[in-house]
Amino acid sequence: MRILLGVLMASLAAGSSLRAQAVLDDSIPPGSNFSKANFRFWAPASASRLQGVLVLVPGSNGDGRPMAQDTVWQEFASRNRLAILACQFTDKPHEQGFIEEYIAVSRGSGDALLAALSRLAVRSGHPEVVSAPFLMWGMSAGGQFNYEFVAWKPERVAAFVVNKGGIYYSALLPRAAREVPGMLFIGGRDLAFRNNTIAGLFAVNRRGGALWALAEEPDVAHVVGKSRDVSLAFFEEILALRVTASGLARLEEKSGFLGDLSAGTWAPSADGRVPNHPTAWLPSERIARAWQAMVRPVADSAGRPRG
C-alpha cells in the first residue's frame, strides 16, 4: 500500500508540476523564408482546459518571447482561459531588409508556428490548443504577420490586430478572411507610407464587407500607444461573441456598430449593408466607445455618439 500510495502521489505531483509549468520554449530550424523561428508558451495554472491561444508577434526581426511573461498579457490570458504563444522570427540576410520575408506566412513561417504549437501542446498538457482559435496581436511587422496569417488560414483566427505596419503581401483577402473581425491601428504621426498602406488595405477590404475597424490615434508615431488597451477589450468582446464549444461563430455586418471615420461618431448598423462611404465595423457598444475615445479624444465622458 505504501508503494502504491507513493506511486500515486508521484504521478499527481508530476501532473501538477506539468500543469503549473509557467514557461516552455521551442524552436524550429531555419526554413525557406525565415532564419529563426523561436517560441515561448505560457498557460495559466488555474485553467484545466484552454479556449484559445493569444499569439503575440513583435516588430521587425524582434524577439517577442518576453511578452509571454508580461503581467498584463498573463492576467488577460488567465481571466479568459488562454494560452500565450509569443514569437521570434528573423529573416535571412537579403537586400531591402525592411521588406520582411517571414511575414509571408504561406511560404513556411506559418507552418513553423503551427508545428511549434503542436509540440508545445503535448509538453504543456494542453492538447486542445492544437486546434484552438487564435487571437493575434502584433506591433509593426507583427501586425503584418497577423494580416497574412488571416489571409492564409482564416478558419483558425477568432480576431486579429494590425498595428502600424508598412509592408504587406496581400491586398483584397478572400471572403472567409474578410469575415474575421479585425482592428487596424495607425498613428497620426507615423510615416505616411505606413498609414497610407494600412488605410488602403482597410478601404478595399471593408468595401468588400470586411468586419474590420480602422483606428487612428492622432498624436502617436510608430509606437504601441493605446492600441494594446483597445485590443484587449476588442479580444474580450470577440471571445464572447465567436468562441463556442462547437467552433467559431460567424458574425454579420448587421450585428455590429458603424463608426464614421470622418466624424468620429458611431451608431448601430441600420440595415446590414456595407456603406459606400468609409466606416469602421465595431462588434459591440463597448468597442464603439473605445474606438471613439481613441480617434476622437474630445468625445464626451460617457462615450455617447455625437453628430
In a domain, residue 274? The reply is no
Tell me how many domains the chain contains.
1
Question: How many angstroms separate the CA atoms of 12 and 176, rounded?
Answer: 44
* DSSP-derived 3-state class of residue 71: helix
pTM: 0.90
What angle separates helix 71-80 from helix 227-242, to the nearest 10 degrees? 10
The answer to whether position 11 is within a domain reads: no
Cα–Cα distances (Å) from 201 to 81, 132, 162, 172, in that order, read 32, 27, 11, 7
Is 288 within the bounds of a domain?
A: no
DSSP string, 102-134: TT-GGGTHHHHHHHHHHHHHHHHT-GGGGSPPE
* CATH classification at residue 233: 3.40.50.1820
Q: Give the pLDDT of residue 4.
A: 39
Does the residue 63 lie in any domain? yes
Q: 153 Cβ partners below 8 Å, 6+ apart?
A: 110
pLDDT of residue 298: 52
- Residue 283 cell numbers, joined: 462588434
- What is the pLDDT, as a whole number, of residue 156? 98
Low-confidence ranges of the chain (pLDDT < 50): 1-20, 299-307
pLDDT at 27: 98
Query: Where in the sequence is the domain holding 41, given as residue range(s)?
Result: 22-253
Is 55 in a helix, a strand, or coil? strand
| Domain annotation covers residue 263 | no
**Which single residue is written with the C-alpha cell 508580461?**
70
pLDDT given at position 260: 96
